[in-house]
Amino acid sequence: MADLPDSFLTRPIAHRALHDRSRHRIENSRAAVSAAIAAGYGIEIDLQLSADGEAMVFHDDTLDRLTPEAGPVTQRSTAELTRIPLTDSSETIPRFAEILSLVAGRVPLLVEIKDQTGCLGPDTGALEARAAALLGAYQGPVALMSFNPHAVAALAEAAPSRPRGLTTCRFTPQDWPGTDRARCDDLTAIADFDRVGACFISHHHAALDTPPVARLQSRGVPILCWTIRSRAEEKAARRIAANITFESYAAAIDLAAPAPKS
């Protein structure tokens, strides 16, 4: 199992890249990725699966919020998705391969595999395998994570040399309606961490002061957090978290951190 590279702990990570809708930089878009690279930030992106098995860079399960189209992403082919415009932008939905070519190892890339089961269940593997295949020859700091431990276990098989982690929070049944209370309790306890071979977590910033996070931190596990939206939130989170995922403001970059590759 690979460790999380130090570069993920030194430069703030732009949540869904450095998006700003007022500047036509939509979340997870090429423009938002390019802006994050230019600013020297790490980048977090999300992957969804197309109907024909391609890894697409898009956060939501459905198209409704971010495009003029509607319905599940998984019911559209790659060709259809790459033609769908992002709202308030001249861009379309990018493929993971495009973003990898754009980043090209210049800054750390944190990739979240979105749950494809609707219930954090075990029916995983297709998106994880495709992401791993695309990362096969990728050079540069990259790490993979998911809320779904089954997805992280699938990544352990598909990309064993890539660092992987769990995206975590207080899992409440009302927020995860397809997941029963007992499973939510296990997820809240981060009980799957060792089983899936995780080497870090990215935890909700408002729940960092919990016993499961403290136990992992005492073991030397890197703690990232999401999603910070102000300097005040950042100051509070950094009492525990080694690094932040942020949006809506300009997070400061540690001048002692290595400069991004040109």
Write the CB contacts of 128 (distance below 8 Å, at least 6 apart in sequence): 113, 151, 154, 155, 157, 158, 159
Judging by DSSP bridges, how do beta strands 55-57 and 42-49 pair with one another? antiparallel
Write the CB contacts of 132 (distance below 8 Å, at least 6 apart in sequence): 155, 158, 159, 162
Question: Distance (Å, rounded) from C-alpha 201 to C-alpha 224?
Answer: 6
Task: Give whole-number Cα distances, 186 to 122, 164, 220, 221, 235, in Å.
Answer: 15, 19, 21, 19, 29
Main-chain dihedrals φ then ψ at residue 195, nearest 5 degrees: -60, -40
Question: Distance (Å, rounded) from C-alpha 103 to C-alpha 32?
Answer: 11
At 73, is the secondary structure helix, strand, or coil? helix
State the DSSP H helix or E strand holding residue 145, giving kind and residue range, or none if neither.
Answer: strand 142-146
At 36, is the secondary structure helix, strand, or coil? helix
Rg of the chain over all Cα atoms, to the nearest angstrom: 17
- Name the pTM for this structure: 0.96
Question: Distance (Å, rounded) from C-alpha 89 to C-alpha 34?
Answer: 14
Per residue of the chain (262 residues), what is the pLDDT tens digit? 789 999 999 999 999 999 999 999 999 999 999 999 999 999 999 999 999 999 999 999 999 999 999 999 999 999 999 999 999 999 999 999 999 999 999 999 999 999 999 999 999 999 999 999 999 999 999 999 999 999 999 999 999 999 999 999 999 999 999 899 999 999 999 999 999 999 999 999 999 999 999 999 999 999 999 999 999 999 999 999 999 999 999 999 974 544 444 3
Question: Distance (Å, rounded) from C-alpha 260 to C-alpha 162?
Answer: 20
Tell me if 50 sits within 8 A of 77, measured CB to CB.
Answer: yes
For the residues of 159-216, what is the DSSP string, one character each?
-TTS-EEEEE----TTTSTTS-HHHHHHHHTTTTTTTTT--EEEEEGGG-SSHHHHHH
Number of other residues whose CB lies within 10 A of the CB of residue 64: 12
Q: Which residues of 143-153 are buried (b: 16+ CB within 10 A; e: fewer)?
A: bbbbbbbbbbb
Q: Which residue has the tokens 């009980």?
A: 191
Token pair listed for 40: 């020297």
